[in-house]
Chains A and B, each alone.
Chain A
Amino acid sequence: MLMDAHRLPRAAQGIGLKPRHMAELIAERADIDFLELHAENHMSAGGPMRDDLAAIAARYPLSVHGVGLSLGSAEPLDDQHLARLVHLVDELNPVRVSEHLAWSRLEGDFYNDLLPLPLSEESLEVVARHVDTTQQALGRQLLVENPSLYMALDNTLSEADFLTELVRRTGCGLLLDINNAYISAENLGRDLSDYLSALPLSAVGEFHLAGHSLDTEATPPLRIDDHGSPVCEAVWQRYAQLTDALPAVPTLIEWDTRIPSLPRWLEEAALARHYHASAARAPLARLEPAS
C-alpha cells in the first residue's frame, strides 16, 4: 500500500534514492521523512528494480524529480516521455513532482545535461506552454527548479522575473535549489540576496541542497554543480535564512557523484535539521549575504 503521499511533516528532510541503498532502505526504515528519485531511472516496464521501488513506496513518501522532460525545448514535449512520467506518478503517488528550467532535447537527439535557456518572452511562452501541458497530463502541480549556470546568456528577462511570471501564468510551484542559486551567482557575478529577494518565495514547494566543486583551471574559476560532496558553509547559511522565511518547506539533500554510504547521507540530512532549528531560534529579518 502506498503512503498517504501528499502529507509530509513540517520542515521534512529527504535524501535521494540510489540503487545501492535500496536493500538497506527496505530492510530497515531509515530516519528520514521522504526519498527523492530521478524519474528516468525508474521508468521500467517490470523487473526487480521496479519491485524494489514498490517496496520503497510502501515504506517512505516519495518525490519524483524529472531530468529529461526538456521544458525549455523550442519544440513540442516528447509525448511518449510525458506518458511515461504520468504512468510513474500515477503508480507512486509522490509528495512532489519536479522538473528543471532547462532543455536537453532537440530534433530527435537527447543531450544528457540541463542546458541553459536564454530568458525572453519567447522562451517564457514555450516553458509556460510545456509546464501547462505537463500539469494537465499529471493532474497536479509541477515544481520547476532554478538552474545552475556556467555562462551568461542574452536574456531580456531576469531569472527571478521569468520564474515569477511562470508561476503566475501556470500555477506551478518552485523547487528552490539553493546550491544552484549560489553557483549561478558566483559564476555570473550576480547578487544572490537580490536574486532570492526577487523570487516569489510563497511558491517554493521544496528546497534542494547539494555540494559543488571548484574548477580552478577555468578562467575565471567556475563552481561546478557536481553533487559530489557535502553542502558548503555558504549554502548552509543561505538555507538557514530561507528556512526562517519558509519554515514548513521540505528539504532534499542531493548527492549524485561520489555517493556516500547511507549513514553518511543521513548525517547530512541531520545537519539540515540543525540549521533549520538554528534559524528558528535566531530569525533573520531579511536575506542578508552570508558572511
Chain B
Amino acid sequence: MTSLAEWQRDFTRALQFGEAGDSRLGHQPGFDVYRNNVRHSLIEALAQTFPHTRTLLGERFFRSVASDHVRRRLPEEPRLRYYGQAFAEALERLSVMQDYRYVVDICRLEHARLSVSHAADAAPLSAELLGQAEDPQAVCCMTHPASRLVEGHHDVLCLWHALERGEDHAPVGAAGDWTWLLIRQGRRVEIHPVNTSTRRLYQTLTTTTPLGEALATSARQADQAQVSEALGTLLALGSLTQAQETPA
C-alpha cells in the first residue's frame, strides 16, 4: 500500500508535469481543478507583486512569462509576497528581453518596494543623535531594515513615477549603472538615486559594524570627502539605524 508521503509525491509530480507525470492521479476527473488553482493563484500572486512590470510587458506576455516561472519555480513558503524574489532574474535571462532591460530594473524596484513595505520598524539614526554620542566612531550601526539597495541598467526613475501615476509610458533614461536606495517613510516607500561611495558605505553597513570601522573600509576605495558625503546622505535619508548589539 502507498504511504502518505509517496502518495503526496505522486500528487505533486502530477501537479507539476501534467499529463507527462503520474497518469493515474493526473487523469482523474477533478484533478485539473487543483492543478489550475495552484498555477492560476501563483500567476496572480506575481501579477499583484509586479503591476508596473505587467503594464510594460502587456497582459498576455506577462502572463506567459509568469506561467513559465511558476512551472520552473514554486514558492518556498506560504507568504506569497516573497514569491517574486527570482522573477527579475528569470525575466533577465529571456533573450527577448535583451533590448528591454529597463523592464527588469522596474521589476527589481517593485520587488524591493514590497520587501521594504513589510520590513521591520526601527528608529533611524540621525546626524543629531550621532553627534550626541560620546564616541561617534564607536557607535554600532547597520542599514535600516526598511531600506534596500537596487542596482539597474537604465535611469528608470521618470518611467517609475509615470507608472505610479497610472501612465503606461514615459521616456526611459540613459543606459548605464544606476543604484537606487529605497527607504520607507511613513506609509510611502521613497526611491533615491545614490552614488558609488554611498552604495559602498551602505553595503559595508548591511552587517552591524562600528561606524569608524565602516568609514575606514569605505575610505580605502574613495577619498575622505566622498566618504563623509556618503555618510551624510545615508543619515539624511534615514537609512541607518543604531544596532543594539555589538558585532561578534
Question: Nearest Cβ in chain B — how far from A55, in angstroms?
Answer: 13
* A75-B117 contact in complex given A67-B78, A112-B38, A112-B75, C-beta closer than 8 Å: no
Partner of A46, one of B3, B33, B78, B145: B145
Q: Do A49 and B118 touch (CB < 8 A)?
A: yes
> Does chain A have a CB within 8 A of B100?
no
- Tell me which of A136-144, A196-204, A218-226, A276-284 binds B: A218-226
Q: Which residue of B lies closest to A120 (CB)?
A: B4
A–B pairs, 22, beta carbons within 8 Å = A40-B78, A40-B79, A40-B80, A47-B117, A47-B184, A49-B117, A49-B118, A50-B118, A74-B4, A74-B7, A81-B77, A105-B78, A106-B8, A108-B76, A109-B12, A110-B75, A110-B76, A149-B30, A150-B34, A187-B30, A222-B29, A224-B33
* A68-B77 contact in complex given A46-B145, A151-B28, C-beta closer than 8 Å: yes
> Does chain A have a CB within 8 A of B56?
no
* A45-B31 contact in complex given A40-B78, A68-B77, A112-B80, C-beta closer than 8 Å: no
Complex-state Cα separation, A49 to B52, whole angstroms: 21
Complex-state Cα separation, A80 to B76, whole angstroms: 12
Q: Do B78 and A81 touch (CB < 8 A)?
A: yes
> Does chain A have a CB within 8 A of B11?
yes
- On B, residues with C-beta under 8 Å from A are 3-5, 7-9, 11-12, 15, 28-34, 37-38, 41-42, 45, 74-80, 117-122, 145-146, 184, 186-187
> Does chain B have a CB within 8 A of A12?
no
Complex-state Cα separation, A215 to B33, whole angstroms: 10
Q: Do B30 and A222 touch (CB < 8 A)?
A: yes
Q: Do B118 and A44 touch (CB < 8 A)?
A: yes
> Does chain B have a CB within 8 A of A126?
yes
Complex-state Cα separation, A67 to B146, whole angstroms: 27
Question: Nearest Cβ in chain B — how far from A22, in angstroms?
Answer: 12
Question: Nearest Cβ in chain B — how far from A226, in angstroms?
Answer: 9
> Does chain B have a CB within 8 A of A104?
yes
Complex-state Cα separation, A95 to B29, whole angstroms: 39
Q: Do A74 and B34 touch (CB < 8 A)?
A: no
Question: Nearest Cβ in chain B — how far from A23, in angstroms?
Answer: 11
Q: Which residue of A lies closest to B35 (CB)?
A: A113
Complex-state Cα separation, A152 to B11, whole angstroms: 13
* Category for how many chain A residues contact B: 35 or more
Q: Do B74 and A74 touch (CB < 8 A)?
A: no
Q: Do A103 and B145 touch (CB < 8 A)?
A: no
Complex-state Cα separation, A44 to B117, whole angstroms: 9
Using Cβ atoms and an 8 Å threshold, which residues of chain A touch B34? 113, 115-116, 150-151
Question: Nearest Cβ in chain A — how far from B146, in angstroms?
Answer: 7
Q: A74-B4, A81-B77 are in contact. List 20 more A-B contacts (CB 8 A).
A: A40-B79, A45-B120, A45-B145, A46-B119, A46-B145, A68-B78, A74-B3, A74-B8, A103-B8, A110-B74, A111-B38, A112-B37, A112-B80, A113-B34, A113-B41, A122-B4, A151-B30, A152-B30, A218-B30, A224-B33
Question: Nearest Cβ in chain A — how far from B70, in angstroms?
Answer: 10
Q: Do A45 and B118 touch (CB < 8 A)?
A: yes
Most chain A CB atoms below 10 A, which of B7, B45, B119: B7
Complex-state Cα separation, A50 to B28, whole angstroms: 42
Question: Nearest Cβ in chain A — how far from B241, in angstroms?
Answer: 12
Q: Do B33 and A150 touch (CB < 8 A)?
A: yes
Q: Which residue of A lies closest to B116 (CB)?
A: A47
Question: Nearest Cβ in chain B — how far from A109, in angstroms?
Answer: 4
Q: Do A118 and B4 touch (CB < 8 A)?
A: yes
Complex-state Cα separation, A142 to B7, whole angstroms: 26
Most chain B CB atoms below 10 A, which of A68, A81, A150, A187: A150
Q: Could you give, for residues 184-219 of chain A, a 1 whenever the CB lies within 8 Å of some chain B CB and a 0 otherwise?
A: 000100000000000000000000000000010011
Complex-state Cα separation, A210 to B34, whole angstroms: 19
Q: Do B79 and A151 touch (CB < 8 A)?
A: no
Using Cβ atoms and an 8 Å threshold, which residues of chain A touch B186? 48
